Amino acid sequence: MDWIPVILSLKIAGLSLGIVLLVGIPIAFLMARRDFIGKSIVESLLTLPLVMPPVVTGFILLYLIGRRGLIGTFLYEQFGIQLIFTSGAAVLAAATVAFPLMYQSAKAAFLSVDRKMEEVARTLNANEIKIFVTVTLPAAFPGIISGVVLAFARALGEFGATAMIAGNIPGKTQTIPIAIFFAAESNEIAKAGLYALIISLVTFGLIYGVNHWLKQQT
């Protein structure tokens, strides 16, 4: 039993979750609180990777970050960085497809926060950052946690976009789903089955865990 794809999957999903959190929470907060022209278009774009086939996401990313792609050329010529077929590309693919789950959960959570609580804090002369950290964020916390779990589970299972832009490199980009695909392709049923079992158990555990925790919160 080769545990490297399992460890690699956890690392890649973990890193992409970090990115999704850092980018997703502020954007979700802005989208929940601000109105601007073209908001519904932005809204649709942010949710798009959720419904778009992952291979299409991968295809678009391939032509953006490929060695001769728009961003790929820039990165290579300015910084000597090649993103395509690296662990970084796997993180990017996982983060892109997981983002809408984090964003949607966090936005719904921010929308459900009672604005009167924030008003009260404001009358007590708290500044906006303090209000966000001490009032809004704690109230939205359960929603954010469920977003975290969903995004992590989605990142863990990402295959289509990952296969296109990160390829199959054992120890670098060969995550569990990629390993399953190649094992099944070469008729190594036991190996594919074992990895499938592991990822099923982990994702089930995650979803069960968060549901259980959410129930306890109410």
Answer yes or no whether residue 185 interacts with another protein by CB under 8 A: yes
Task: Report DSSP state, residue 134.
Answer: I
Measure the CA–CA gap between 186 and 172, rounded to whole angstroms: 20
Answer yes or no whether residue 68 interacts with another protein by CB under 8 A: yes
Shortest Cβ distance from residue 7 to another protein (Å)? 17
- Report the residue number, 89 or 106, with the smaller CB distance to another protein: 89
> Which tokens hold the place of 48?
């798009």
Shortest Cβ distance from residue 90 to another protein (Å)? 12
Shortest Cβ distance from residue 169 to another protein (Å)? 5
Task: Please select the residue that binds another protein; options are 48, 126, 139, 188, rule is CB under 8 A.
Answer: 188
Measure the CA–CA gap between 68 and 63, rounded to whole angstroms: 8
Shortest Cβ distance from residue 61 to another protein (Å)? 12
Orientation of helix 4-33 relative to helix 189-217, angle to 10°: 40
* 67-81 burial: b if 16+ Cβ within 10 Å, else e: eebeebeebbeeeee
Answer yes or no whether residue 77 interacts with another protein by CB under 8 A: no
Answer yes or no whether residue 84 interacts with another protein by CB under 8 A: yes
Exposed/middle/buried for residue 5 (C-beta within 10 Å: 0-12, 13-18, 19+): buried
Measure the CA–CA gap between 113 and 131, rounded to whole angstroms: 12
- Contact (CB, 8 A) for 31 and 112: no
Answer yes or no whether residue 66 interacts with another protein by CB under 8 A: yes
- Contact (CB, 8 A) for 85 and 171: no
- Report the residue number, 68 or 116, with the smaller CB distance to another protein: 68
- Report the residue number, 74 or 204, with the smaller CB distance to another protein: 74
Answer yes or no whether residue 64 interacts with another protein by CB under 8 A: no
Shortest Cβ distance from residue 69 to another protein (Å)? 9
Report the interface residues with another protein, using CB under 8 A: 66-68, 82, 84-85, 167-170, 182, 184-188
